[in-house]
């Protein structure tokens, strides 16, 4: 009888230990989930502050040929022309690949720049970055 009581107490102690341990894990999981949610919210807020601007390439022109953005904004160039073009900074700091009709290329902008099409050197554009 005494052994049964001791076994029962040990069993209940084990069950109690497991309940406490599981509750502890749940709290950690909830904290991790909360931290992830906060990080996702911060990322979403940061993305909301970054604009995406579009420059079309059409009729042998960049439209608009001058664009004003904020540092960190993304510009997407879309080739809407019937022939290939590219976008190259005048000092070759950056360049797109050759863009076939309906292809696009994007870049996050950090500084003002003048650019042109190396295939059709008369095509020119300008990026003005407000800091």
Q: What confidence tens digit (pLDDT) does each residue in 70-104 have?
A: 999 999 999 999 999 999 999 999 999 999 999 99
56 exposure class (CB count in 10 Å sphere: 0-12, 13-18, 19+): middle
100 in the same domain as 68: yes
- The reported pLDDT for the residue numbered 51 is 84
- Sheet containing 66-70: order of strands: 66-70, 124-130, 113-116, 88-89
Q: Is the pTM of this model over 0.85?
A: no
**Range(s) of the domain holding residue 14:** 1-49
60 in the same domain as 45: no
Is a pLDDT exceeding 90 seen at residue 59?
yes
Count Cβ atoms below 10 Å from residue 58 Cβ, excluding itself.
14
36 in the same domain as 73: no
- The reported pLDDT for the residue numbered 131 is 74
70 in the same domain as 25: no
Q: How far is CA 25 from the centre of its chain?
A: 32
Q: Report how many domains make up the chain.
A: 2
56 in the same domain as 120: yes
CATH number, position 58? 2.60.40.420
């Amino acid at each position: 009888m005494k052994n049964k009581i001791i076994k029962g107490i040990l069993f209940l102690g084990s069950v109690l230990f497991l309940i406490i341990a599981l509750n502890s894990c749940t709290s950690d999981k909830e904290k991790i989930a909360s931290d992830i949610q906060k990080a996702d919210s911060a990322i979403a807020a940061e993305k909301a502050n970054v604009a995406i601007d579009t420059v079309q390439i059409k009729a042998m022109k960049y439209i608009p040929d001058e664009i004003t953005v904020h540092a960190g904004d993304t510009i997407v160039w879309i080739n809407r022309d019937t022939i290939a073009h590219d976008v190259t900074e005048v000092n070759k700091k950056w360049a797109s690949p050759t863009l076939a009709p309906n292809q696009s290329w994007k870049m996050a902008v950090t500084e003002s720049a003048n650019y042109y099409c190396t295939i059709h050197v008369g095509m020119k554009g300008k990026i003005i970055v407000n800091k």
